[in-house]
Structure 1
Amino acid sequence: MSLDTRQLYESSTGDSWHLVRDNDSGEVFVRHLANKASGGSVRDVGLGVFLTLGRDGPEHQEVWRLISSLIPRAD
């Protein structure tokens, strides 16, 4: 499996969220890596599900910022 990743956000506690594309299937998802104190678990969430989970967290705000950057500004 070939993956491309881009870190979206890393919290002050060491949790991090990454936007991931599986180059074989074309699937795009968000990968949450918990910090070591929380067990270091990895959780993959489909992009659609992730977007419905909320807009308040900085990791969500970064995904929305990236999406909005795809639309050119009208000058």
Structure 2
Amino acid sequence: MENLQEFALSSNGDRWYLGKDETSLRTFVLHKANEASGGTETRSDVQAFLNSDSKGPERDALIAILGVSDDKDASEQDSYLPSS
């Protein structure tokens, strides 16, 4: 079971969620593509998402809900948890 919190919605219908795997207790970002694009779901570690080359509004939205600056080091990013 997973706990998901939506943090971004694009104008084309793509959605991004911050999640926590109940088994491993690891946080992740789930991207759900819009139906016209096939509705594909892609999961990334929070750290990988924040450190990716993509610097779009969804990254800014994740930083905002986490309440952090984007200059945190990898060990701090690894401990991010979704709010309840």
Report the TM-score, using the length of structure 1 for normalisation: 0.81
- Alignment coverage as a number of residue pairs: 68
**Structure 2: any 5+ residue segments left out of the alignment?**
69-84
Kindly indicate whether structure 1 or structure 2 has the higher relative contact order, using CA contacts under 8 Å at least 6 residues apart.
2
Shift of 1:59: 0.9
TM-score (norm 2): 0.73
- Structure 1 runs (4+) greater than 4 angstroms displaced: none
- SS of the equivalent of 1:7 reads strand
Runs (5+) with no aligned partner, structure 1: 70-75
For residues 3-55 of structure 1, the C-alpha deviation after alignment (integer angstroms, 9 at most, x for no partner) is: 10000111111000000101111010000000111111000011110010147
Question: Which residue number in structure 2 is paired with residue 32 of structure 1?
Answer: 31
Identity of aligned residues (%): 32
Q: In the alignment, is the contact (CA less than 8 A) between 2:7 and 2:65 conserved in 1? A: no
RMSD (CA atoms): 1.5
